[in-house]
Structure 1
Amino acid sequence: MKKILIIEDEASIRKLVAYDLKQVGYDVYEAEDGLQAKEMIENDTYDLLLIDWMIPHISGIELVKHFRARDVHSVFIMLTAKDEEENILEAFEAGVDDYVSKPFSPRVLLARINSHLKNKESTSSNVFADLEIDEKKRKVMIGNEELILTKKEYDLLCYFIMNANIVLSRDQILNDIWGFDYDGDTRIVDVHTFKLRSKLKESQVEINSSRGVGYILEEKNEERKD
């Protein structure tokens, strides 16, 4: 069952959309502000997020930017009364998949949701070297073997793959994976990278240190694959 999170501070709209989605078989969750939504997304995985732009505490557009930077591959649909061209362009630049202006037709919204989830289902796997990443199930396979990763290790690996062959500083990794509100230091990056590196020993990729800077994910050369 597909999981959808509705992030909307207007209870009447949120409840109406939730009812319609439940009627057609979706597993629906609700958040009434940006902080609640942020916590829910950090602790669970959703196939699609309906996000109102003007929500309290953290705006919808900031949520999109925040989680796109952390390699969250859910479908993002912005629901908003902002219908000026510059607003629409800003939303797409932030990483939304679709933009629906209020007031909207519930039937049209449902059709868009169905279409996006169908497309996502057909393109949910990525391959890098001998790693196959199933974004929908958050699973990584090496051949026929599943690579057992924690949630943070999975996020970190996807982030490295998205930035393959690029040296990433510890500060950059800390900000993009742990978030702007994390109080710790960059040693947490070293700890998780060390654990992830050890789990990738049998694969054709490796995470190398860049002295004094950070880390880089690369394919092993032929001499190091065996």
Structure 2
Amino acid sequence: MHILIIEDEKGIIDFLKQGLEEEGYAISYATNGKEGLEKALQHSVDLVLLDWMLPGMSGIEVCKAIRKERQSVPIIFLTAKDTVQETIEGLKSGANDYIKKPFSFEELLERIKVHFRSNHAIEKLTLGNISLDKNKFQVLVDKKEVSLTQREFELLAYLISNKGKVCTRNKIIEDVWDIHFDYDTGVIDVFMNAIRKKLNLSKDEELIKTIRGVGYIAND
């Protein structure tokens, strides 16, 4: 599961990143509102941890903008703003939860788990005769289970989550592999060939189509 942290205090970012990665979450972060909004809309993000006071755009503005484009992604405010009115304003902007600084990491972790559980419906993805359940780590083709490796599963889930959008090789490397430096993107083709073979898809199959020189697109 991919969590995006939008926070301008490096100490808090480092603290959250270390703790959440130890719990098995993939973490990316942004240090200002504009960058955070771009990452929230352009990347495959499962939950957003959002500060209120941010350079460029406020957390409220970011929250409203994310919610317009992505209805179901959970958003949790982490902020020193602590009046009742401010809490109400944060929730009205589209946030799912509101935690006041300083906070307990253990409490935050449990809240994250609650939101992932309550948001489980979007963890079930479909593409034609293919169904994918993130919670069960299960892929079915015509209701028959197909065994994928973790990386194959993550790549397939990413493509289906971004159904109808061209996923470039560079974006896949960043969002699925969490690699943010020059890397041989040819490895993606190796995994795609394995996925197609296991799902019995040809290279000309419209469900997952190769965009030559660019990447892939999933379409029903």
Same-fold call, TM cutoff 0.5 = yes
Change (3 A) 1:110 1:56: same
Unaligned regions of 5+ residues in structure 1, if any?
127-133, 137-143, 152-226
How is 1:1-226 mapped onto 2 (pairs within 5 angstroms)? 2-122=1-121, 124=123, 149-150=164-165
1:42 deviation in Å? 2.4
Q: Which residue in 2 is equivalent to 1:216?
A: none
1:50-74 per-residue CA deviation (whole Å, 9 max, x = no partner) reads 0000011011111110111123421
Percent of aligned pairs sharing the same letter:
35
1:69-127 per-residue CA deviation (whole Å, 9 max, x = no partner) reads 1234211000000010111111111110100000000111111111111221246569x
Aligned Cα root-mean-square deviation (Å):
3.2
Q: Is the 8 A contact 2:72 2:119 kept in 1?
A: no
Q: Which residue in 2 is equivalent to 1:190?
A: none
For the residue of structure 2 that corresponds to 1:29, the secondary structure is strand
Runs of at least 4 residues off by over 3 Å: 122-126
Q: Distance in 1 between matches of 2:92 and 2:124?
A: 23
Higher Cα radius of gyration: 1
Number of equivalent positions: 142
1:7 deviation in Å? 0.6
Residue type of the partner of 1:66? A
Q: Is the 8 A contact 2:37 2:62 kept in 1?
A: yes
Q: Distance in 2 between matches of 1:10 and 1:150?
A: 33
Q: Distance in 1 between matches of 2:33 and 2:4?
A: 12
1:130-166 per-residue CA deviation (whole Å, 9 max, x = no partner) reads xxxx9x8xxxxxxx7x9x6227xxxxxxxxxxxxxxx
Residue type of the partner of 2:165? T
Q: Distance in 2 between matches of 1:65 and 1:51?
A: 12
Q: Distance in 1 between matches of 2:12 and 2:113?
A: 19
Unaligned regions of 5+ residues in structure 2, if any?
126-131, 135-141, 143-159, 167-220
Q: Distance in 1 between matches of 2:57 and 2:16?
A: 21
Q: Distance in 2 between matches of 1:40 and 1:99?
A: 21
- TM-score (ref. length: structure 1): 0.55
